[in-house]
Structure 1
Amino acid sequence: MSVIIRHGTHPRLPVSNAVEANGWLYVTGQVPRDAEGNLLAGNMTEQARLTLSNLKQVIESANYTTKDIVRIGVWIDDPRDFPEFNSVFADFFDIEHAPARVTIQSSMMCDCKVEVDAIAYKAP
């Protein structure tokens, strides 16, 4: 029998921060929002660090770790920022536990430079 667990809610939208089902954790796209919900108006390095910190916080609040992440989706608005993003990404994921990743150039739905979602797995 399948059990679905919703972890946290989005402050402004009818979505969960993450949804868990049969060991799989699907994390909603994270953007560089501070604890008060304000978007960080910084450079890519600053925004990537906050975005990945937010992602890590959601993962850990569901009792997973970054080592459990199997896939990451990254949307950046300017491909010239890719090297900066990669540099920050390497601080969060080592080669041994690197998830599969797709990176896409995209216009953002909010005024930020990056959005990241993830899928994690651990045996139920």
Structure 2
Amino acid sequence: MKCLNYRYWLGLGVFFLLIGCCCATGSEENSAIQEEQSPPIFHPTHEPSKVNAPYSDIVQVDNLYFLAGQIGKDHTKGTLVEGGIEAETRQCLENIKAVLAQHDMTMANVVKVLVILDDINDFAAFNEVYKTYLPQKPARTTFAAEALAAGAKIEIEVVAVGD
């Protein structure tokens, strides 16, 4: 009986020793992964009119770029473009292109899109313009919400992957 207890405790000790080594190795690997990740970079805006805005146009985490939502505002005039949903969609996407260009990216870098329409009945008209800017078909979510910022008919935000 003593021999069985000795073997039992010896086996149990070896088991826990192995578990401890595996956990320690896992912790070291996790630490190494965490050390490799960069902290978020909150890039300043390239638009003079947005310098005092309470948000960043773009936030970078490693090679992922999270862009703030854009509306169909012509930043040179400070007003929404005229011409309805098509014109506002085009301006939204041009604004996104401008932000991406500041970080050496194009619309081809876009992998995820969130679209908010003021009126879901504008979906088909918006989609016709959208397809010309993002033919690679990034993942997309589209929904309608009443009363967008500045009376906009559409807001679009994207996530892009840099090189």
With the length of structure 2 as denominator, give the TM-score of the two structures.
0.69
Q: 1:59 aligns with which of 71, 90, 100?
A: 100
Q: Is residue 6 from structure 1 mapped to residue 43 from structure 2 by the alignment? A: yes
Count of equivalent residues: 121
The CA deviation string for residues 12-51 of structure 1, in whole angstroms up to 9 with x for no partner, is 5211111112000000000011123212243111111111
Equivalence map 1:1-124=2 (5 Å): 1=36, 2-3=38-39, 4-8=41-45, 10-11=50-51, 13-34=53-74, 35-94=76-135, 97-107=136-146, 108-123=148-163
Say if 1:48 and 1:85, in contact at 8 Å, map to a contact too.
yes
**Which structure would you say has the larger Rg?**
2
Give the AA of the match of 1:73. Answer: L
Contact 1:5 1:21 in 2 (8 A): no
Distance in 2 (alpha carbons) for counterparts of 1:112 and 1:12? 21
- Secondary structure of the equivalent of 2:149? coil
Which structure is richer in relative contact order (CA contacts within 8 A, separation 6 or more)?
A: 1
- Structure 1 counterpart of 2:28: none
Task: Give the number of the structure whose residues are more often strand, by fraction.
Answer: 1
| Aligned-partner residue type, residue 6 of structure 1 | H
Contact 1:26 1:118 in 2 (8 A): yes
What's the TM-score, normalizing by structure 1? Answer: 0.89
Query: Match for 1:115: what amino acid?
Result: E
Kept in 2: contact 1:49–1:88 (CA 8 A): yes
**Aligned-pair RMSD on alpha carbons?**
1.6
After TM superposition, give the deviation of residue 122 of structure 1 in Å: 2.6
Gaps of 5+ in 2: 1-35
- SS of corresponding position for 2:57: strand
Residue type of the alignment partner of 1:28 = A
Taking only the aligned residue pairs, the percentage that are identical comes to: 27
